[in-house]
Amino acid sequence: MLNLKFIQNLTRRTPLGWLQLTQHKGRFAVAISGVAFADLLMLMQLGFQGALFDSAVVLHSKLKADIFIISPQALNIGAMSTFPRRRLYQAMDITGVESAEPMYVSLVTWKNPQTRDKKTLLIVGFNPNQPIFNLPEVNSQLDKIKQSDTLLFDRKTIGTYDKVVESVARGKPITTEIDRRTISVNGLFSIGSSFSADGHLMTSEDNYLRLFSRQSQSNINVGLITLKPGYDPQQVAEQLKSYLPKEGIRILTKKEYIAFEQGYWQQQTPIGPIFSLGAIMGFVVGIIIVYQVLSTDVNAHLKEYATFKAMGYGNTYLLGIVFEEALILAIVGFIPGLIVSIGLYSIVGGATNLPIAMTMVRATQVLIGTLIMCMLSGAVATSKVQAADPADMF
């Protein structure tokens, strides 16, 4: 009965906040635009940050391995350093380990065969007899990379590659150069770009070592440990840490390896903090805009508020009107900001091939942030309402 009575009273209540906001249509439109702009700024900054983190680990997520061995000096996937390959042979002694495969990875300067422009790509070398990726396109073309100086090319690489992709798709290999060595592109796959590389290349470890003659086959960048079914990666990782020499290697589960990569971009580069700061600035800008709108509205209706007080209405009722306006601005302003940001996500994603897309979590976070932003502004603006004295107004 109490809930029903509350709902009935709520539906019968005059929406003073809405009426006051919409009394001046132009001012209301400007207020909504201001909130939408703040939401757009927050959504875009968080979207760029999400694209940064997602693109940084897109290769990691495609790897079959359960446990990874890297050098303690490794910074990120583009700067991995090396450790002795014999650690993989030693890892095979641990119960539950099914396979231990090497992966070679480095950034290379690639000459676009279509435009002759130079790009930075991430090249991966591995044993084609032991597939390491959950990528059907790559796994179906392993015989191709067994040929000398033959690579697979990421069709989502940033740049103009329509003729290259079309030619390779028709079965006509394309030749170009990497570090003054002529190579042949004989297959395609799709991963995409990241903030460290414009795209990816796949090849065999033999071809990789021909390109990087200074790197020995006995020194690898990443060790990929695959477990037998039923074994827990965390437990086997602890066994490996106890069994293998502690110096010169670092052992991570897949979850930890992904966190390691993302942590580099968040903590050791200025890019991640910049996007976070941009989102905070959007929040602050929104507070200022909403405060200005509500403050102006309160000043314009200060006599009306004083009249309500003279009639016996308390501060709680009057504050409710201001908070109602703040809630309306938050919800109505969020909708256009969300719609425009989705469109911009599509444009940016198409232009850069970065994995940027709106997620329910991100939209919910910004909506909650918008509600908090508007409520804080409303709380500050209500100070004038509480101070309104009917005796001073008339």
What is the SS3 string spanning 212-270?
A: CCCCCCCEECEEEEEECCCCCHHHHHHHHHHHCCCCCCEEEEHHHHHHHHHHHHHHCCC
Residue 250 CA to residue 236 CA, distance in Å, equals 14
Q: Which residue has the tokens 């020194």?
A: 219
Residue 62 CA to residue 264 CA, distance in Å, equals 19
Task: Give 134-186 pLDDT, tens digit per residue.
Answer: 999 999 999 999 999 999 999 988 888 888 889 888 989 988 888 788 889 99
Which element (helix H / strand E) includes 37? helix 25-56
Residue 238 near residue 251, CB atoms below 8 Å? no
Residue 67 near residue 228, CB atoms below 8 Å? no
Mean per-residue pLDDT over the chain, rounded = 85
Q: How many residues would you count in the chain?
A: 394
Q: Please give the pLDDT value at position 10.
A: 42
Residue 81 near residue 73, CB atoms below 8 Å? yes
Q: Please give the pLDDT value at position 40.
A: 92
Q: Please give the pLDDT value at position 387.
A: 63
| More confident call, 355 vs 341 | 341
Per DSSP bridges, beta strands 118-126 and 97-111 are antiparallel
Q: Please give the pLDDT value at position 325.
A: 81
Task: Give 346-376 pLDDT, tens digit per residue.
Answer: 998 888 888 888 999 999 999 999 888 888 8
Per DSSP bridges, beta strands 181-189 and 150-154 are parallel
